[in-house]
Structure 1
């Protein structure tokens, strides 16, 4: 896939002075292309280009410069510790180059294919693996999402997400460049910043939307927007309902992974069901493997899948079934109309208790419906009789454990009630706001 079709906007309305606004600084697409050309000249011929992925115009220029040069871009988290940084740079062979946004240069690029990004993702064991994401996969995914969300050059996209993950970088930066929409990156994704941005299309993770609905004025200020999109983790049903009540919007939820990009989504013009992530995008096929009680591991195929883990052929092979379907490791249920619900991760969120298979996400949503509960994470812990017992970690005020147990039992089947409840000041989370269950303290 040549670079030009991937960066559609850079060949469209290049003179708009505020096409991109990152952390308060603005530029036109023409200015971005000139700065990226200077980066491309320095990066040309490198094995990979390392980019300090802060929400700045320099980061945007570096990413586009790498794409212009046909060099794989390796985003590095600005707060990465020395061990993590050394691993990413050593594993990928990526090098930094100077980036001066005031510098301008032309770069006559030849049409190129191959790897666009190397995104590092952590598993449950071992150091992070480099995920090879191609230009073709990015282009296919962004075009499918533009159609699903009716995303055009008339939109102004607003988000405050990190630029070293798929959500903020691929969707939130390259998506704007692909569609030609304006982009406002708020720096920090605060409710006040979202309310003041005046966008038509907003991206956020559940933590962001939870904070927005706690600031009612901010949520109401989003009423003029066209679409709110939530991703990177399941959106709790109570947050969905609060967004609808306060802003008038039923948010779009979607599902994806670093290895697959976004594969399933609700549609801008379709029904949006709380707790559901919609239907597969065009070209994506999904299946639920070995379902029991209607749930099992979600597997899929399609044009948005990665090209493998950098230097790890065995890990790449292990991520696919014998007949070529990618193993997501996520547990899902699919309704008769094709609507997908993600129950959780197979490793942590599928609880087998007393012969039942229980999705942690369902119990978490029930807990979050209690007015005293602000956050909840549910896991399975070994139990001599049940096999596993349901354990709930909650952030809550003025409520006892038994009350929460009874509350869940009143909303769900009795066997889905927590057998143990532990109160925390906060849940451990990563940069995207996903709860890190492996970091929860033991009972």
Structure 2
């Protein structure tokens, strides 16, 4: 079975300057709601393993029985369409069981990043979320660790699912199941806050099942090859919780919960998980690949094991640096015994999430592909770029209890305004897809009047430096562009030949970054040249909205909160800690 369906795009240039793009392939049939997918596989393959998390396994048959029992118990506890179930703890079999129970009982589930419970100092955001959705039940799998967070929600707390799983499904569950329609809200997901305070995005069953039908149409091998995933991406975010979990559930696959993360203290867990199980599809964000790639390069046996039965490698949620993309390609060429395409896609929490996909083997870095079947993309001229707007069955009806925000999110034609920009890879051939062109709200003008494309500059800097985990671009109403950045400790050790963490004032590191700034800016205008760089010691702050649980930095929040660091970038004479393109300031 082929990996990809051939992309076929229909384009329509409108008189108002907007360009409409859609797939020539119609959207196929899909279930009315996700609980039907669970019951289908529970009947067709009851003993097949749906998920594991290192502590045990869950078959489809057991998952369906638990969903019925726990669903009944949730209804008995007061959960309803108006009083959802909030989940505070991270990815686990327990989290999956209560999610499937909510799908079965027609009750919205509200997964919240565990970081808001475990890392937050005041639980301010968690309280705000709970006040908005008014949960009937709140669940966490560790009463001690999540105790303060559970109290902050002021809702009925559950920390043990086993008493709920002993409930006997009755008439109320049957009635609730029968009342589920495609427009029933399955989930409320809070956005990451990259453009403001978090919003509760309504995810209907139609959105989620239609999105999986779109993926099956573009990845036809899923029909005959149930996917096997080893995945850490948080279920509080649409990539992990919608795209990946439902990819397994819809296609009768197996989800191995990776309890690690792409962070030095936790990444060994990911290596252990990937050593124990060979995935058939591997999905990650650039930050995850940035930590995995050095391990694959250093261990050929592990690389051969990792690639041995992969169908494809997939990246989304943020732009991957070109240098990292190229390293992955070289690893595949060196260690895989069969072709493994590396591909990307684009979407948002509001689009369930996939809206476009680069479903062809030679997609270049930066390509976000073409519209999925059933999706129409509208490219609208905005400030010298083209904003991506989306319509289709995968698009949200709006935000939880926020009519003003909902109205503002859609244009006069009913297209969702994403705030992201894209350009045609080949203006003469829309079939070659789109390339991501940054977030419109993050771009700014220098005092010269030149527009700065922050997304392109950030990607170029992180890619060329090779030792940065992330960066934000500064320069609004300034004469030149500068950057704040964080060091990737693993890559910095490799660069500097150290067996311990590298200090930010390490002269070899500073000289390397100074050379990078000089090479990036050689011959370019002020809007495309980063003149100064300041490395930050303290990581982005979750409570301050500087970072999201999916691993990317909120540029506007960082610049606002770290105004003092920005002033240091522009001090004259240069601050001694600031690295300049002409060489180290020290």
Matched, 1:284 2:368: no
CA 1:277 to 1:125, structure 2 compared with 1: closer, same or farther past 3 Å?
A: closer
Retained in 2: the 8 A contact 1:21–1:27? Answer: yes
Retained in 1: the 8 A contact 2:481–2:529? Answer: no
Structure 2 equivalent of residue 418 of structure 1: 530
CA 1:273 to 1:398, structure 2 compared with 1: closer, same or farther past 3 Å?
A: same
Structure 2 length-normalised TM: 0.69
Q: How far apart, CA to CA, are the structure 2 residues paired with 1:134 and 1:382?
A: 39
Retained in 2: the 8 A contact 1:212–1:219? Answer: no
Once the two structures are TM-superposed, the CA of residue 391 in structure 1 deviates from its matched residue by 3.2
The equivalent position to 1:317 in structure 2, one of 384, 403, 407, is: 407
Q: How does 1:27-46 map to 2 (within 5 A)?
A: 27-44=58-75, 46=80
The equivalent position to 2:350 in structure 1, one of 230, 254, 259, is: 259
Once the two structures are TM-superposed, the CA of residue 43 in structure 1 deviates from its matched residue by 2.1
Once the two structures are TM-superposed, the CA of residue 69 in structure 1 deviates from its matched residue by 0.4
Retained in 1: the 8 A contact 2:208–2:394? Answer: yes
Structure 2 equivalent of residue 112 of structure 1: 180
Q: How far apart, CA to CA, are the structure 1 residues paired with 2:196 and 2:455?
A: 26
Q: How far apart, CA to CA, are the structure 2 residues paired with 1:246 and 1:413?
A: 35
The equivalent position to 2:51 in structure 1, one of 20, 26, 29, is: 20
Is there any run of 5+ residues in structure 2 with no aligned partner, and where? 1-31, 118-122, 138-157, 262-266, 334-339, 493-507, 541-546, 567-586
Q: How far apart, CA to CA, are the structure 2 residues paired with 1:130 and 1:252?
A: 29
Q: How does 1:22-421 map to 2 (within 5 A)?
A: 22-44=53-75, 46=80, 47-81=83-117, 82-96=123-137, 97=158, 99-100=161-162, 103=166, 105-106=168-169, 108=174, 109-113=177-181, 114-123=184-193, 127-150=197-220, 151-152=222-223, 153-189=225-261, 190=267, 191-192=270-271, 193-216=273-296, 217=299, 218-224=302-308, 225-248=310-333, 249-260=340-351, 261-267=353-359, 269-290=360-381, 295-335=385-425, 336=427, 337-338=429-430, 339-348=433-442, 350-353=443-446, 354-370=448-464, 372-384=466-478, 386=479, 389-391=481-483, 393=485, 395=487, 398-400=509-511, 402-410=514-522, 415-421=527-533
CA 1:413 to 1:235, structure 2 compared with 1: closer, same or farther past 3 Å?
A: same
Q: How far apart, CA to CA, are the structure 1 residues paired with 2:484 and 2:421?
A: 19
Once the two structures are TM-superposed, the CA of residue 72 in structure 1 deviates from its matched residue by 1.0
Retained in 1: the 8 A contact 2:379–2:389? Answer: yes
Once the two structures are TM-superposed, the CA of residue 30 in structure 1 deviates from its matched residue by 0.7
Once the two structures are TM-superposed, the CA of residue 125 in structure 1 deviates from its matched residue by 7.3
CA 1:149 to 1:352, structure 2 compared with 1: closer, same or farther past 3 Å?
A: farther
Once the two structures are TM-superposed, the CA of residue 411 in structure 1 deviates from its matched residue by 8.8
Structure (1/2) with the larger strand percentage? 1
Once the two structures are TM-superposed, the CA of residue 133 in structure 1 deviates from its matched residue by 0.7
CA 1:222 to 1:147, structure 2 compared with 1: closer, same or farther past 3 Å?
A: farther
Retained in 1: the 8 A contact 2:71–2:104? Answer: yes
Q: How far apart, CA to CA, are the structure 2 residues paired with 1:197 and 1:20?
A: 12
Is there any run of 5+ residues in structure 1 with no aligned partner, and where? none
Deviation by residue 1:181-216 (Cα, 9 ceiling, x = unmatched) = 111111114351334421101111111111011112
Q: How far apart, CA to CA, are the structure 1 residues paired with 2:194 and 2:237?
A: 18
Structure 1 length-normalised TM: 0.90
CA 1:2 to 1:142, structure 2 compared with 1: closer, same or farther past 3 Å?
A: closer
Structure (1/2) with the larger helix percentage? 2
SS for the counterpart of 1:347 is helix
Q: How far apart, CA to CA, are the structure 2 residues paired with 1:149 and 1:53?
A: 32
CA RMSD of aligned residues (A): 2.6
Once the two structures are TM-superposed, the CA of residue 61 in structure 1 deviates from its matched residue by 0.8
Structure with more contact order per residue of length (Cα contacts < 8 Å, sep ≥ 6)? 2
Equivalent residue pairs, number: 437
Retained in 1: the 8 A contact 2:444–2:476? Answer: no
Deviation by residue 1:86-144 (Cα, 9 ceiling, x = unmatched) = 22222112122552286475553315121110111243676422111100010000111
CA 1:177 to 1:11, structure 2 compared with 1: closer, same or farther past 3 Å?
A: farther
Once the two structures are TM-superposed, the CA of residue 39 in structure 1 deviates from its matched residue by 1.2
SS for the counterpart of 1:308 is coil
Q: Which moved more, 1:117-126 or 1:170-179?
A: 117-126
Deviation by residue 1:224-282 (Cα, 9 ceiling, x = unmatched) = 21111111111221111111111344422111111112101111x44321111111111
Retained in 2: the 8 A contact 1:389–1:418? Answer: yes
